[in-house]
Amino acid sequence: MRRPEQLSPEEARELEAIDVALAGGSVDHDLRELEDLVHEVRATAPEMSPALTARLERLIEHGPEPATDPVKPPGPRRRWVLVPALGTVTAAVVALVVVLGNGNGDSSDTVIQETSGGKDAPALARPGSGGVAAGESAPSAAGRAQSAPAPAASNRPGPAIAPQRRRKVERSIFLVLATPKDKVASTADDVIQTVDRFRGIVASSSIAADDRSGGEATFDLRIPTSRVDEALGALSKLGHVAERRQDLQDITASFDSTQARLDEAGAERRGLLKALGKATTENRLDSIRARLRLVRAQIASARGRMASLQRRANYSRLSLTVRGNGKAEQGDGTWSPGDAANDALRVLAVIAGVALIALAVAIPLALLGAAILFGARVARTRRRESALDAT
Amino acid sequence: MAQPSNTAMQSFDALYRDSARDLYAYVRTLLHDDASAEDVTALAFERAYRRRTAFDARRGSQRAWLFGIARNAALDELRRRRRSAPLIADLPDEQMRALDEQAEQSLRRATVRVALDELPARERELIALKFHGGLTNAELAAVLGTSESNAGTRVHRAVKKLREACHAPS
């Protein structure tokens, strides 16, 4: 039916003559028959009845009456067009929900990091504040409270009060600092300088390099207890505090018992020395001397233990880890124009992601809808054309 | 329904004045029935009126657009007719009236009318669109949904058949 066929020059000439005749012009002599045919066919054209003319005049003047067209109005048919559009909107909403869902996951991660590692994390004792770590036990806390210098009660006038026993407390602190991966070594140097400044001791240290994360430096430090809070504050400023905890152990009982043993041994020694001066027999002298050696050994041992306890009370143990966080240095934390540009890029990336997901869903839906529309249109056209073949 | 602008009204009024007679002639030739042709012609103008704001000049002339609407309505009418009882056309009466006329011109026109009516529907439609509607080949292509060259070929073939039918012995 629609085979492309080329008109011969003669056929094209005849068609042109028909157009000329229809326009009222005259054609070549050999085509007069065609011109006559045009006029005769035109002359046989059916004429509109006066009723139809009046009907159409009314239509043109007043417009069609409502619902006179038995065929469905174009509105409902156009609803087919809404199918792919509805699919596109649905896909966009789904994509937005997915992306926002991922975004919430990121933000919750951030919250976790802040909770566990923020310098202002409420679970951690602030340097120099005298606060108590969340995990600290009540006895320990009490012990630490009593480890402070004795109150100046004796300076106050009033009745004599028995001097408060001075508690001996051993502090152990665990601190993890996170730094940019290119700052691990320099932060380790700063740690050493800070420890020296507070007259602390570096018992041991080690640095492990790692290109990806930046590596890790670990320190086993002894800081004078009287300055440990101050030193802790200074060390915490060297990096991002990722973790910090401390433990307090009351060693007053050990100290007292050792002191008691030392006092007893001293008293015994003094007694033995007096007895030695009064001894008259050789056997008695040998017996006292042997006992004196034993007591002296006990005194030396007690003094050694006393010194050890005193060091544990006077120096706090600090285990410090400087850890690279795998990222390069990001500036000073203020929101700069560069940060704004990065945020803008991030927003654009999210929007592009949403658009991509929406397109991935919408394109197949749109193609399907278009195919359905096209098929319906072709079918309708074929049905109409078939009416011509049947007549 | 939104009120049309004056320009659109004037444009549609001009289209009606220019096309109504030709459109009816085309539909009547296609349907072979006065009543159906009048209904379909009126229906085509109603549809065109309702859709006049959707007309896109880039897709063809207003006249071709109107004839396309009329064609769809006429084909729908033919389909309805096919599903119902076949129409007994009023052609014989006209034929008889024409044959009663003694004038040579009238006889000639009657011959053309008979030849036209005996053409297959597709060729008859092409003749009606070309001769009654006065459409160019480009407008014909737009109405039929085909290429201009194909429309020209089909018109020429239909004219050839009509000429042969006119010269055929009755």
10 Å Cβ neighbour count for A119? 15
Interface with chain A: mutation pick from B52, B78, B163, highest number of A CBs within 10 Å: B78
Is the pLDDT confidence value at A319 over 60? yes
In sequence order, which residues have a C-beta less than 8 Å from that of residue A264 and are 6 or more positions away?
none
DSSP bridge pairs for A224: A315
Is the pLDDT confidence value at A127 over 90? no
How far, in Å, CA of A108 to CA of A103, rounded? 9
- The C-alpha of B62 sits at a distance from chain A's nearest C-alpha, in angstroms, of 16
Q: With beta carbons under 8 A apart, name residues in chain A contacting B152.
A: 7, 12, 15
CB contact under 8 A, A6 and B149: yes
According to the model, what pLDDT value does residue A128 have? Answer: 39
Q: With beta carbons under 8 A apart, name residues in chain A contacting B69.
A: none
Average pLDDT, chain A: 77
Contact status of B29 with chain A (Cβ, < 8 Å): yes
* Residue pLDDT, tens place only, A254-304: 888 999 999 999 999 999 999 988 888 999 899 999 999 999 999 999 999
How far, in Å, CA of B95 to CA of B107, rounded? 10
According to the model, what pLDDT value does residue B13 have? Answer: 85
User: Tokens in use for B48?
Assistant: 């065109």
Query: Please, what's the b/e burial string for A40-62 (b: 16 or more CB within 10 A of its CB; e: otherwise)?
Result: bbbebbbebeeebeebbeebbee
According to the model, what pLDDT value does residue A149 have? Answer: 41
Considering CB atoms only, which of B34, B79, B156 is closest to A384? B79
- Residue A389 vs residues A97, A344, B84: alpha-carbon distances, Å: 55, 64, 16
How far, in Å, CA of A377 to CA of A373, rounded? 6
Size of interface A-B (CB pairs under 8 A): 146
Q: Which residue is closest to B134 within chain A, CA to CA? A: A22
* Residue pLDDT, tens place only, A353-388: 999 999 999 999 999 999 999 999 999 888 888 888
Mean pLDDT of A60-65: 80
- The C-alpha of A364 sits at a distance from chain B's nearest C-alpha, in angstroms, of 28
Q: Side chain identity at A281, as an amino acid letter? A: T
* Residue pLDDT, tens place only, A107-121: 333 333 333 333 333
Mean pLDDT of A212-216: 80
Average pLDDT, chain B: 81
Q: Let me know: does A242 contact A121? Beta carbons within 8 Å.
A: no
Q: Which of residues 99-138 of B touch A (CB under 8 A)?
A: 108-109, 112-113, 116, 121-122, 125, 127, 130-132, 134, 136-137
In sequence order, which residues have a C-beta less than 8 Å from that of residue B14 and are 6 or more positions away?
none
Range with the largest mean pLDDT of A60-69, A323-332, A369-378? A369-378
SS3 B97: helix
Is the pLDDT confidence value at A123 over 50? no
CB contact under 8 A, B152 and A12: yes
Considering CB atoms only, which of B42, B49, B150 is closest to A63? B49
Q: With beta carbons under 8 A apart, name residues in chain B contacting A56.
A: 16, 20, 41-42, 45
User: Tokens in use for A301?
Assistant: 């041992």
Closest to A131 in 3D by CA, of A246, A234, A221? A246
Q: What percent of chain A has pLDDT above 70?
A: 72
- The C-alpha of A6 sits at a distance from chain B's nearest C-alpha, in angstroms, of 7
SS3 A3: coil
Q: Which of residues 1-20 of B touch A (CB under 8 A)?
A: 1, 12-13, 16, 20
CB contact under 8 A, B109 and A4: no
Long-range contacts of B33-40 (CB under 8 A, 24+ apart): B33/B87, B33/B89, B33/B90, B34/A46, B34/A49, B34/B90, B36/B77, B36/B81, B36/B87, B37/A46, B38/A48, B38/A49, B38/A51, B38/A52, B38/A55, B39/B77, B40/B70, B40/B73, B40/B74, B40/B77
According to the model, what pLDDT value does residue A102 have? Answer: 53
Paired sense of beta strands A315-324 and A169-179, if any: parallel
* Residue pLDDT, tens place only, B90-126: 445 555 555 555 567 777 778 888 888 888 888 899 9
Closest to B31 in 3D by CA, of B84, B97, B75, B92? B75
DSSP B119: S
10-residue mean pLDDT series, chain B (170 residues) = 52 88 92 90 91 84 92 90 57 52 70 86 90 90 89 91 78
How far, in Å, CA of B3 to CA of A156, rounded? 102
Mark out the alpha helices in A138-251 (DSSP H runs): 138-147, 184-197, 228-236
User: Tokens in use for B19?
Assistant: 């096309």
Q: Side chain identity at B70, as an amino acid letter? A: A
Closest to B119 in 3D by CA, of A4, A5, A44? A44
Rounded to 5 degrees, what angle do the CA atoms B129, B134, B137 make? 75
Taken as a whole, chain B contains a residue count of: 170
Q: What percent of chain B has pLDDT above 90?
A: 29
- Residue B68 vs residues A228, B81, B113: alpha-carbon distances, Å: 95, 20, 24
User: Tokens in use for A151?
Assistant: 């109150």
According to the model, what pLDDT value does residue A383 have? Answer: 85
- Complex-level ipTM: 0.78
Is the pLDDT confidence value at A97 over 70? no
Q: Side chain identity at B57, as an amino acid letter? A: A
Closest to A142 in 3D by CA, of A286, A40, A250? A250
Q: Could you tell me the maximum CA-CA distance found in chain A, to the nearest angstrom?
A: 177
Q: Let me know: does B114 contact B128? Beta carbons within 8 Å.
A: no
According to the model, what pLDDT value does residue A99 have? Answer: 60
* pTM for the full predicted model: 0.48
DSSP A329: -
Q: With beta carbons under 8 A apart, name residues in chain A contacting B130.
A: 18, 22
Q: With beta carbons under 8 A apart, name residues in chain A contacting B131.
A: 18, 22, 38, 41-42, 45
The better pLDDT of the pair A212, A145 is held by A212
- Residue A265 vs residues A21, A295, A303: alpha-carbon distances, Å: 145, 6, 11
Q: How buried is A135 (Cβ within 10 angstroms: 0-12 exposed, 13-18 middle, 19+ buried)?
A: exposed
